[in-house]
A and B are shown apart, each in its own frame.
Chain A
Amino acid sequence: MSAPLLAVTDLVTEFATRDGALRAVDGASFSVAPGEVLGLVGESGSGKSVTGFSILGLIDPPGRIASGSIRFDGRELVGADDETLRALRGNRIAMIFQDPMMTLNPVLRVDTQMIETVLAHERVSRRAARDRCVDALTRVGIASAGERLEQYPHQFSGGMRQRVAIAIALLNRPALIVADEPTTALDVTVQGQILFEMQALVREAGTALIWITHDLAVIAGLADRIAVMYAGRIVEQGPVAAVLDSPLHPYTRGLLDSVPANNAPGRPLRQIPGMTPSLARLPSGCAFRSRCGQAGPDCAAPVPLAARTDGREVRCVRPLAAGAGA
């Protein structure tokens, strides 16, 4: 594997609340190489989106990156000034949000917004910028791109809007794209089209992609590696096939077991008992131990994310044996 393009080390992102600082991300470490797709998976409140926002420096008060390091292409992003970040965002690093209307301004025509993105980072003529916009829209599968450029966001369907948002992210040929649940709100057939296009783009341009989602099935088809988050911590990461076929962490196992496709039709689904605990009341040590079937007294002490010889990492005192389970 080539040297990582992005290396996140011991990232801690906190939000100040009346009950003290809540750690939305607690010691996340991972890296992404050029052309690699990392799936960042977790349920609501696991810190997966906050991790993505942290990379782009989009954490606003009362949130802050409390400690850790985010190195992108050899440069440290934690503590970098606004100007540095602004020069990177939308240029070398791009983000795609779940709701494309977070990217698009409803009162501006699509061409205005797209050309602006090009001109913000490069001195080219409007004409050249416009040509590049047409090209980007065509690449994400929008027909008659020249005409569609002159329309407003409300004249696009949900799937088309997400394509426009993706096209904007691609405009300046970024080295890294952070995509936060970009297909969750879309229909299955439209999701299939967008996954197809993203796959092709990553493969052709060697772009690194972090795909944040709760949907394990999407990750199975798209990602090279997967990192599973629970209550702000990465509990397991490794190659996608290894993690999905023989999870090491009991939470990953529980998550996979509760997917209907992994259960015999009509039979009760195997479920994880209880609910995700509130970040304000996390148990000491392993955050999952209150719901874990094999927790013992030793789980109450802090558990590090331990690297294994097979390139996988797991944060568990008693990891499941590889190849075991249903």
Chain B
Amino acid sequence: MTAAAPLLSVRAVSRRFVRRLDVIEKFAARLGSSVREQVVHAVDRVSFDVADGEVVGLVGESGCGKSTLGRVIAGLHPPTEGEVLLAGERVALEPGRRPPIQMIFQDPFASLNPRMRVGDAIAEAPVAHGLVSRADAQEHVAALLRQVGLDPAYARRYPHQFSGGQRARIGIARALAVQPRFLVCDEAVAALDVSIQAQVLNLFMGLRETLGLTYLFISHDLGVVRHLADRVVIMYLGRVVEVGPIGPLYDAPNHPYTQALLAEVPRLDRRGRRYQPIRGEIPSPLDPPPGCHFHPRCPHATARCRTEAPALREVAPGRMSACHLNDA
């Protein structure tokens, strides 16, 4: 699936958040107390590629680092280690340079200034980057609103005058305003009702076709990802555990975590089922278990899993998995 020159290349990216000691704690540490800096490995040496025009789903449960990774890719956080390349160039936000990657957030209301008309909010970035002149901005906004299925007359309204589905569309219009090559969608449809979600997903698929966009689609919803994406990356506690094309991966997941995740998803065709849950909850990323992060919940864990972290290796053409069981 991955072409010779991928559009986006994530190379051994790590992102750590450190809570430094305050004055009193430093003093206590010097006196021999055991207080130490707390380090969260939100993203731990993640690598994958996205081909031009491809849609890749990034799936995981809360706290697995998928949103942090999305922000690192969009250039909102610098990576602690590693690099993100877009068409061979390092992604970084620089003043005056048009960001080639745009992000769409779960709650578009939180990312819109409530006191700014949505037309102005959409026009702000393209005008600032000189994509359109102030005089042409109105027309640019009208075209964008039409593209996302909204009435251009809505440009004069304020964010609170829109429903959830319409706000999602405004968030998309604003991301498209600077003609990005790559879109990072972070739980972009998670807050929407089923019928509205279908409309917005259709919009995403239509835009992909008309604009030739490439997406990283971050979601906890395996059903949505299956529908939209070509390939999927599964994360657990900061690490990638499995990567593969949608069909084969959903049909025969390799990693025990992916297997559990897929088994756990409620489905319309599973009636009166007896749930057989996997044990435990995701451990704190402040204190992840040694070895394979999944071993305390894994039904197949061995002594090796408790000490040695498995590497992500190819298990079939185009499919990667990080599990010691594949060595047996």
Judge if A188 is at the interface, Cβ distance under 8 Å. Answer: yes
| A215 in contact with B266 given A160-B281, A255-B194 (CB within 8 Å) | yes
CB pair A188 B194 closer than 8 Å = no
CB pair A271 B198 closer than 8 Å = yes
Name the residue on A nearest B60 (C-beta): A187
CB pair B278 A189 closer than 8 Å = yes
List the A side residues contacting B277 at CB < 8 Å. 189, 192-193, 195-196
Interchain CB contact (< 8 A) of A220 among B223, B246, B264, B271: B271
B-contacting 9-mer, from A24-32, A129-137, A258-266:
A258-266
Name the residue on B nearest A240 (C-beta): B271
Distance of A306 Cα from B166 Cα, bound (Å): 35
List the count of A-B residue pairs having beta carbons below 8 Å apart: 134
A-contacting 9-mer, from B13-21, B82-90, B199-207:
B199-207
Interchain CB contact (< 8 A) of B275 among A187, A196, A255, A263: A196
| A260 in contact with B281 given A189-B61, A266-B227 (CB within 8 Å) | no
Judge if B113 is at the interface, Cβ distance under 8 Å. Answer: no
CB pair B268 A261 closer than 8 Å = yes
Distance of A215 Cα from B266 Cα, bound (Å): 9
| A269 in contact with B275 given A188-B265, A192-B264, A260-B223 (CB within 8 Å) | no
Cβ contacts B146-164/A at 8 Å (1 or 0 each): 0000000000000000011
Chain B positions 94-130 with a Cβ under 8 Å from a chain A Cβ = none
**Whole-angstrom distance between the Cβ of A278 and the nearest chain B Cβ:** 10
Judge if B33 is at the interface, Cβ distance under 8 Å. Answer: no
| A258 in contact with B61 given A189-B260, A196-B275 (CB within 8 Å) | no
Judge if B93 is at the interface, Cβ distance under 8 Å. Answer: no
List the B side residues contacting A220 at CB < 8 Å. 266-271
Judge if B45 is at the interface, Cβ distance under 8 Å. Answer: no
Chain A positions 188-223 with a Cβ under 8 Å from a chain B Cβ = 188-193, 195-196, 199, 214-218, 220-222
CB pair A192 B271 closer than 8 Å = no
Distance of A260 Cα from B275 Cα, bound (Å): 22
| A268 in contact with B205 given A188-B222, A214-B194 (CB within 8 Å) | yes
List the A side residues contacting B193 at CB < 8 Å. 43-44, 214, 276
Judge if B30 is at the interface, Cβ distance under 8 Å. Answer: no
CB pair A221 B275 closer than 8 Å = yes
Name the residue on A nearest B193 (C-beta): A43
**Whole-angstrom distance between the Cβ of A231 and the nearest chain B Cβ:** 13
Judge if B226 is at the interface, Cβ distance under 8 Å. Answer: yes
CB pair B261 A188 closer than 8 Å = yes
Choose among B266, B272, B273, B281 the residue with the greatest number of A CB atoms under 10 Å from its CB: B266
| A188 in contact with B224 given A240-B271, A255-B195, A258-B198 (CB within 8 Å) | no
Distance of A88 Cα from B202 Cα, bound (Å): 47
Give chain B's interface residue range (CB within 8 Å of chain A). Answer: 35 or more
| A221 in contact with B195 given A189-B278, A265-B226 (CB within 8 Å) | no
CB pair B274 A199 closer than 8 Å = yes
CB pair B197 A258 closer than 8 Å = yes
**Whole-angstrom distance between the Cβ of B196 and the nearest chain A Cβ:** 7
Chain B positions 187-223 with a Cβ under 8 Å from a chain A Cβ = 193-199, 201-202, 205-206, 220, 222-223
Cβ contacts A247-287/B at 8 Å (1 or 0 each): 00000001110111111011011111001100000000000
Judge if B282 is at the interface, Cβ distance under 8 Å. Answer: yes
CB pair B266 A218 closer than 8 Å = yes
Judge if B2 is at the interface, Cβ distance under 8 Å. Answer: no
CB pair A272 B195 closer than 8 Å = yes
Distance of A248 Cα from B49 Cα, bound (Å): 46
**Whole-angstrom distance between the Cβ of B287 and the nearest chain A Cβ:** 13
Distance of A192 Cα from B281 Cα, bound (Å): 11
CB pair A270 B198 closer than 8 Å = yes
List the A side residues contacting B270 at CB < 8 Å. 217, 220-221
CB pair A259 B275 closer than 8 Å = no
In the complex, 25 of the A-B residue pairs with CB atoms within 8 angstroms, ordered by the A residue number, are: A43-B194, A44-B164, A188-B220, A188-B261, A191-B266, A192-B266, A193-B278, A196-B275, A196-B276, A199-B275, A217-B265, A220-B270, A220-B271, A221-B267, A224-B272, A244-B268, A254-B195, A258-B195, A261-B269, A266-B227, A268-B202, A269-B201, A270-B198, A271-B195, A271-B202
Per CB-CB distance, the 5 closest pairs between chain A and chain B, nearest first, are A258-B198, A196-B275, A260-B227, A217-B266, A187-B61
Known: A188-B265, A220-B267, A260-B223. 10 other contacts (CB 8 A): A189-B282, A190-B61, A191-B266, A217-B223, A217-B266, A220-B269, A220-B270, A240-B271, A258-B194, A266-B228
